[in-house]
Amino acid sequence: MVTVADFTNEIRPTWCPGCGDYGIWNALKRGFVKAGLTPQEIMMVTGIGCGSKMNDYMHINGLNTLHGRALAVATGFKLANPAMKVIVVHGDGDGYGEGGNHFLHAARRNIGLVDLVENNHVYGLTKGQYSPTSRLGFITKTSPRGALERPLSPLALAISQGATFVARGFSLDVNGLADIIAEAMHHRGYALIDVMQPCVSFNRQMDYDWYRERIYKVEDEGHDPTDREAALRRALEFPGGERIPTGIIYRTEEVPSYEEQVASLLAGPLVNQPLWVRPLEEYRELVRENV
């Protein structure tokens, strides 16, 4: 039987004391166990940022990529081996800023992977610049008079572009987040999990108390996650309003994943298929044609 200990290694995180990444770290391990998965069945692809060091602190298959390119690399891995459960773990800057184009297309394609975004509404690793999800007027080193840009609404954007599983968690609600992760790991297509988390060093305005006053669970209000229009209304509550919905906002299993439709994968994962090489004579013919 798989336990949390199976996903634990001897490397201790170097995050700031009180960082929301600790809650996400524990929720991931619990979520994998709840999903009945072993470390060998999961591939964790990460970007650049504080939380993108997640796979260093777990006993799991892991690959650390370039800033903003985690989804692109994860897409390639999923297409090469669809049998693996692929999860991307990165921050709001990496996922919605540098990687915003990949975010849109992953949702549009409905590629079968989990995209967990640690959303602390600031760039933490690079010392506190405002991010795509920072609140209007947020004062930082790069916005001393307050951020002029309106914050991105990632949940609404994902739903509008075709994502088939859209959820929000809270790093302090470890068990609730673990439940969302467990369900997302077995979802048919693209699954976005936007995780609210405090940054105790560079975004002290949005601390744990700030979140406690605003967060609520959609299931407590009878939300139907299969209703797309209702899901969009919930998704648009934050940013903009003062209530932050958490839980599974939207879910449908009716849309096939991208990899289910790729003809070359009908014979099974590419990693299990024999390597096809053109006959040597074909190469010689090409040379003769171009001499």
User: Hey, how many other C-beta atoms are within 10 angstroms of the C-beta on 135?
Assistant: 17
- What integer pLDDT is reported at residue 126 of this predicted model? 87
The structural architecture, per CATH, of the domain 4-263 is 3-Layer(aba) Sandwich (3.40)
pLDDT at 264 over 90: no
pLDDT at 86 over 90: yes
Q: Which of 16, 13, 53, 30 is nearest to 207 (CA)?
A: 16
> What span, in angstroms and rounded, lies between the C-alpha atoms of 175 and 277?
49
> What span, in angstroms and rounded, lies between the C-alpha atoms of 52 and 176?
21
pLDDT at 282 over 90: no
Give the start-to-end residue ranges of the domains of the chain.
Answer: 4-263
* 57-67 pLDDT, tens digit each: 999 999 999 99
pLDDT at 275 over 90: no
**Threshold 0.85, pTM exceeds:** yes
Map residue 218 onto helix, strand or coil: helix
> What span, in angstroms and rounded, lies between the C-alpha atoms of 210 and 201?
15
How many CA atoms, within 13 angstroms, populate the side-chain half-sphere of residue 141?
9
